[in-house]
A and B are shown apart, each in its own frame.
Chain A
Amino acid sequence: MSPSLADLRRLDRRWIFLAIGVLVVAPLLTGFHIAPVRPGARAKGFYDAIERVPAGATVLLAGDYDPGTIAENYPMHLAAARQLMSRNIKIIAVELYPGGPPLADRVLRIAGEEFHKRESYDYVNLGFKSGNEVVMSQMGSSIPRTFPADRRGIPVSQIPVMKGVENFSQIALLVSVSAGFPGTKEWVQQVVSRYHVPMIAGVTAVSAPEYYPYLQAGQLQGLLGGMAGAAEYEVLVGHPALATRGMDAQSLAHVFIAFMILLGNIAALPQRSAGKKQGPSA
């Protein structure tokens, strides 16, 4: 047995933690750049779906996530708000996660200031409502009945951007930024399949595979998966920001994890050959 491989097997995992920490933090702090982000077909689908919405139309922006997934969901949420406002599309924001409203507020405020949009006139955040899928279904009957007031407590009847909005018939596009349940899957099941509202989604990388069947079936017109999807979309919107900067860190982290799998198996090789020599029980 090679002593160096035995040493490798006993490697203190704190060295691995240190290495991944350095690889993630260094590109973010130094601005070290590895490769350009190239938008894929799914991100283009997301972007094009918003481009197809006529100016002045109303879009529902569902921000169903909380700070736990801020690294992945927040950049795509902000980029979507930027694209919508740049095209003079009105935004009605809702959140089905209790921790979501402050993030949606922040996104709308930042994009609103950039594009000189006014709250209540160009966008509104209706806030959080408990009830998961039932809230989505109820919005199909009446959005003002489901959300009688916005997040600040102003009755929707007094909010200009809500004028004439009764249910999904007045919604040109549903944009779902989702971390899990309740989120994109439930919006597809409750709203797209029933009211045939065009929909696009931005989701966490770990949950993205779940939505490919909906994308292939045409129930989703575009899909952003994790920080990579958000970075591609930021490039399309022409405003590379948080996600684009994060992709260099993610690139290095992925290469390191792949290397760790390889290294771990190389380190285990002598053990495996010893086991084969001893017989199948080893």
Chain B
Amino acid sequence: MKREVPLLISIAAGIFVLIGFFVPHPAIRTTYDDIQQWVIIVVAFTYVLGMANLLRINVEQVRRRAKDWPYKAALVAALLITMAVGFSEGTRYLNDGTRFSWIYNTFYSSMSSTMFSLLAFFIASAAFRAFRVRTVEALLLAIAAFILMLGRVPIGNIIHPLLPQAADWLMEIPQNAAKRGILMGAALGVMATGFRIILGIERTYGSESGGG
């Protein structure tokens, strides 16, 4: 029953949502909309579950003084303080001048941007240390990289007026053709997996070792 009941729910929901996608009849549409509302509510609960799991794992590691426990303590403290401040300020927690807004702008926004900005430094370092042209394929990749990197910024036009056009051609013809093929292949794979789940023949789905 542990396997069959979730599988039956998945099959019923899958078939109904598939029908609801194509059939706009009110009888189907109402239930289809209800199922979607349930999904939104369930997904909202996963945030609570995720937070509970984060707290459980990190509090335990702090208690045991595991490796890097001060970082985990900082994580738990930041989580609890942010939540407490957010709840204390009610629905206006994101308005200008609130303490939550200060936390968002001062910590969250700055740190997220910093993480992304660090990429520039590591890409530059990796370009020097790791990008080696040893094969014809690597040479083609390097040429494409040069054209795109220089052709996509205003300085490319100064280096050579044809660079931006070459970059556009690369993106619109070879890149697009490859991406379209990948997209179609992935879409067929998703459809096949979806059908397998709906028909209850996807073995990994719902099994204890599987990802479903």
* Minimum Cβ distance to chain A for residue B187 (Å): 9
The CA-CA distance from A142 to B130 in the complex, in Å, is 52
What are 5 sample pairs from A and B whose C-beta atoms fall under 8 A apart?
A: A68-B115, A99-B108, A102-B104, A253-B120, A255-B150
A257 & B127 in contact (Cβ 8 Å cutoff): yes
* Minimum Cβ distance to chain A for residue B80 (Å): 17
Size bracket of the A interface: 35 or more
The CA-CA distance from A38 to B123 in the complex, in Å, is 26
Among the 9-residue stretches A75-83, A84-92, A262-270, the one with 4 or more Cβ atoms under 8 Å from chain B is: A262-270
Q: Is the interface of A mostly helix, strand, loop or mixed?
A: helix
* Minimum Cβ distance to chain B for residue A256 (Å): 6
> Is B43 an interface residue, CB under 8 A from the partner?
yes
Q: Is the interface of B mostly helix, strand, loop or mixed?
A: helix
Mark each residue of chain A from 107 to 131: 1 if its CB lies under 8 Å from any CB of chain B, else 0: 0000000000000000000000111
Q: Which residues of B contact A52 (CB under 8 A)?
A: none
B113 & A71 in contact (Cβ 8 Å cutoff): yes
Residue A35 contacts which of B40, B125, B129, B157 (CB distance < 8 angstroms)?
A: B157
Q: Which residues of A contact B110 (CB under 8 A)?
A: 67
Residue B91 contacts which of A11, A134, A141, A153 (CB distance < 8 angstroms)?
A: A153
The CA-CA distance from A17 to B132 in the complex, in Å, is 20
Identify which of residues 9-52 in chain A touch chain B, using a CB-to-CB cut-off of 8 Å. Answer: 11, 13, 16-17, 19-21, 24, 34-38, 40-41
A-B contact count (CB 8 A): 167
* Minimum Cβ distance to chain A for residue B13 (Å): 12
B33 & A130 in contact (Cβ 8 Å cutoff): no
The CA-CA distance from A260 to B40 in the complex, in Å, is 48
Among the 9-residue stretches B54-62, B169-177, B202-210, the one with 4 or more Cβ atoms under 8 Å from chain A is: B169-177
Q: Which residues of B contact A135 (CB under 8 A)?
A: 40
Residue B128 contacts which of A102, A105, A129, A263 (CB distance < 8 angstroms)?
A: A263
The CA-CA distance from A21 to B118 in the complex, in Å, is 10
Q: Which residues of B contact A247 (CB under 8 A)?
A: 153-154
Among the 9-residue stretches B4-12, B67-75, B141-149, B193-201, the one with 4 or more Cβ atoms under 8 Å from chain A is: B141-149
A210 & B179 in contact (Cβ 8 Å cutoff): yes
Identify which of residues 1-53 in chain B touch chain A, using a CB-to-CB cut-off of 8 Å. Answer: 21, 29, 32-33, 36-37, 39-40, 43-44, 46-47
A21 & B121 in contact (Cβ 8 Å cutoff): yes
A228 & B152 in contact (Cβ 8 Å cutoff): yes
The CA-CA distance from A251 to B156 in the complex, in Å, is 8
> Is A159 an interface residue, CB under 8 A from the partner?
no
Q: Which residues of A contact B131 (CB under 8 A)?
A: 261, 264-265
* Minimum Cβ distance to chain B for residue A103 (Å): 8
Q: Which residues of A contact B39 (CB under 8 A)?
A: 131, 134
> Is A277 an interface residue, CB under 8 A from the partner?
no
Q: Which residues of A contact B171 (CB under 8 A)?
A: 209, 212
A138 & B154 in contact (Cβ 8 Å cutoff): no
- Residue of A at shortest CB range from B24? A141
> Is B180 an interface residue, CB under 8 A from the partner?
yes
- Residue of A at shortest CB range from B133? A265
B37 & A102 in contact (Cβ 8 Å cutoff): no
Identify which of residues 140-198 in chain A touch chain B, using a CB-to-CB cut-off of 8 Å. Answer: 141-142, 145-146, 151-153, 194
A68 & B132 in contact (Cβ 8 Å cutoff): no
> Is A202 an interface residue, CB under 8 A from the partner?
no
